[in-house]
Amino acid sequence: MEKVLVMGGTEFVGLAILKGLISKGYQVDFLTRGIKEVTIQGYNKHHICDRQNENELKKCLSEIQYDYIFDISAYSRKDVESLLRSVKLSQIKRYCFLSSGAVYIPSEKHLDENSERGKNANWGNYGLEKKEAEDYLFELNKKFNFPVVIFRPSYIYGEGNNLYRESYFFQRILNKQPLPVPNTGKSKTQFIHINDVVGIILDSITNDKTIGEAYNLTHPREFDWIEFVEIVQRVVSKRTKILGISQEDMEELDVLPRKFFPFRDITYLMNINKLKEHNLLQPCIDIEEGLQLSFEWFLKQNIKEQFHLMKDLERVSNYC
């Protein structure tokens, strides 16, 4: 039985990857700090340590040979380096690294995998550090044929999302509270459902074309924010007032979209032709289906309102 290590595994993407691997019959270990409750069954071992502490990592992992590693929790080159120094790599078949579309420089065009990567003020250090981790892994592949594959998703949504994104819309609509929405008329964006992310990543490890490659992950459908909120309202089967906040409104209030809205008001579009060219699964869950699944999950949870995370939400609402 092939042995797998998942870095992460108690929240959203890590947990979904863990469940997917278990369902396919792999012997799965995962590593977390042990803060979140583990409710899943069927895994082999839960390593508990702080991945930032290399000595702890080595105590947990240095004697174990894994066939596959899924690194969901690395945010920097340092994270990747310390992990790779802490595990046996002689038989590794694939190291799957979850990066982000934030590695690309700002663009109004559709980004493909060869688009320029670099500093992007919209994402700050997050995107830059992911890019530096990618560079290190590409270097290892080039020098030592290290079997890495990198994934750059757009906004991931769906059941289990621990980020206050869909839940923000669901709660505000159900409470009949107005929704301030950036309405600059310029921004278009894309999403990908968590089940499509898991399906593509797991598909990649049995395809030799993926070694040394990076892949954009997104559903190709595009939205502006008003269109997106209209779809959410149809899914919830309730309506609330949508407040279109113009660029002039934001300048008058001296506020940025991220202070009252859970997404960045930027064009964020990617091309996924490479998935098809390399015979990988294509994203197939459209936004209505995906949001319906997410809403059904949301209704079963006890998610507390987190509007306070958007500090200027009520100020913008009152302005309009």
Q: What angle do the packed helices 225-236 and 287-299 form, to 10 degrees?
A: 50
Nearest alpha-carbon partner for 138 in 53, 249, 213, 32: 213
For residue 276, being part of any structural domain is answered with: no
Say if 253 falls within a structural domain: yes
Q: Same domain, yes or no, for 204 and 78?
A: yes
Residues 256, 132, single domain; the answer is no
In which domain, by residue range, is 237 found?
A: 164-189+221-268+286-319
- Are residues 27 and 112 located together in one domain of the fold? yes
- Quick one: 206 and 84 in the same domain? yes
Sign of CA dihedral 232, 192, 107, 250: positive
278 belongs to a structural domain:
no
pLDDT at 186: 77
- What pLDDT sits at residue 1? 86
- pLDDT confidence of residue 311: 66
Q: What is the 3-state secondary structure (H, E, C) of 17-64?
A: HHHHHHHCCCEEEEEECCCCCCCCCCCCEEEECCCCCHHHHHHHHCCC
Domain-embedded: residue 277: no
11 and 83: one domain?
yes
Q: What is the pLDDT of residue 184?
A: 74
Pair (136, 22) in one structural domain? yes
CA distances from 117 to 78, 122, 156 (A): 19, 13, 20
Answer yes or no: is 280 within a domain.
no
Count of structural domains, the chain = 2
Among residues 242, 255, 151, which one has the least CA distance to residue 194?
A: 151
pTM: 0.94
CATH code for the domain of 177: 3.90.25.10
Name the residue type at position 15. L
Rounded to whole angstroms, how far apart are CA atoms 264 and 258?
6
User: Could you read off the pLDDT tens digit of each residue along the chain, which spans 320 residues?
Assistant: 899 999 999 999 999 999 999 999 999 999 999 998 898 999 999 999 999 999 999 999 999 999 999 999 999 999 999 999 999 999 999 999 999 999 999 999 999 999 999 999 999 999 999 999 999 999 999 999 999 999 999 999 999 999 999 999 999 999 999 999 998 777 999 999 999 999 999 999 999 999 999 999 999 999 999 999 999 999 999 999 998 888 888 888 888 887 889 999 999 999 999 999 999 999 999 999 999 999 999 999 977 766 555 666 766 676 66
**175 and 115 fall within a common domain:** no
Domain shared by 61 and 206, yes or no: yes
54: CATH: 3.40.50.720
Q: Could you tell me if 6 and 28 are in contact, meaning their C-beta atoms sit under 8 angstroms apart?
A: yes
Same domain, 94 and 174: no
Give the pLDDT confidence score for residue 225 in this predicted structure: 93
Kind plus residue range of the DSSP H or E element containing 137: helix 125-144
116 and 241 in a common domain: no
Residue type, 20: G
